Amino acid sequence: MFHIQNAWLFFTVTLLVNITPGNDVLFVASRSISKGVKAGMISALGIFCGCFVHISAAVFGLSLIIAKSAYLFSLIKFAGAAYLIFLGVKALITKPDTDTKITPRGSSNWKHFKQGFITDALNPKVAIFFLSFLPQFIDPASHYFKFQLGMLGLWFNVQGTLVLFLLAFILGRTGDFFKRNPKVWLIQEKVTGLMFIGLGIKMALTSKK
């Protein structure tokens, strides 16, 4: 019922893809450094949920439509790019709050989750990756093709989330250093802002191929 062709190759490649710096890794890294371990992990959970948009799209064939339609690909691509640029500009113009006594946990947690979700869900490269990569490890003639595709997508998502959790834990430990040195924290926020703007521009200029 469930068989992965070249399983070890699949697990190795997905791990390499998940640890390669990209939108998700850089987003969680910046949130972990500036806001702490919890914020980084909540952002990772948002990315985890956002990835299910692409898994569902791949399973039900929507990714094929996106891959073949330049208009739909461009629409999603520019929406994701605009959101990343928005986050970058916001980081550049907003003064970091170094007062650790005032922390609206509920709204802040939801904000990190939502930003993580949107960052991943509006990245069409993830949808194209699922469509072009995952089917290579499944027998297309199998009656369980969609089920197997969904399971491989789930594994990729879980593995990536565990990597992001580890990243958030390691980088989040440096949060106290930035809070004790507000000037350094300010510089970090500006660098993060420029990083997001750069990612947004890169996404906007990237073609399907």
Domain boundaries, the chain: 23-205
pLDDT value of residue 3: 56
pLDDT value of residue 118: 92
In angstroms, the CA 48 to CA 113 distance is: 10
In angstroms, the CA 40 to CA 164 distance is: 8
**Residue 100 pLDDT > 50:** no
Mean pLDDT estimate for the chain:
78
In angstroms, the CA 97 to CA 209 distance is: 41
In angstroms, the CA 7 to CA 136 distance is: 11
Higher pLDDT, 78 or 178: 78
**Residue 45 pLDDT > 60:** yes
**Residue 75 pLDDT > 70:** yes
Average pLDDT over every residue of 4-15: 72
DSSP helix/strand/coil, 103: coil
Q: Give, for 94, the enclosing helix (H) or strand (E).
A: none
pLDDT value of residue 40: 93
Percent of the chain with pLDDT strictly greater than 70 = 78
pLDDT value of residue 205: 80
The residue among 202, 209, 192 whose CA lies nearest residue 88 is 192
Q: Which amino acid is at 114?
A: K
**Residue 209 pLDDT > 70:** no
Name the token pair of 82.
Answer: 């605009």
The residue among 82, 85, 91 whose CA lies nearest residue 33 is 91
pLDDT value of residue 6: 62
**Residue 30 pLDDT > 60:** yes
CB 24, CB 164: distance < 8 Å: yes
pLDDT value of residue 95: 66
Average pLDDT over every residue of 94-106: 49
Average pLDDT over every residue of 11-15: 79
In angstroms, the CA 28 to CA 38 distance is: 11
Q: Dihedral through CA 190, CA 191, CA 194, CA 195, nearest 10? A: -140
* Region of poorest pLDDT, from 84-88, 121-125, 176-180: 176-180
pLDDT value of residue 43: 95
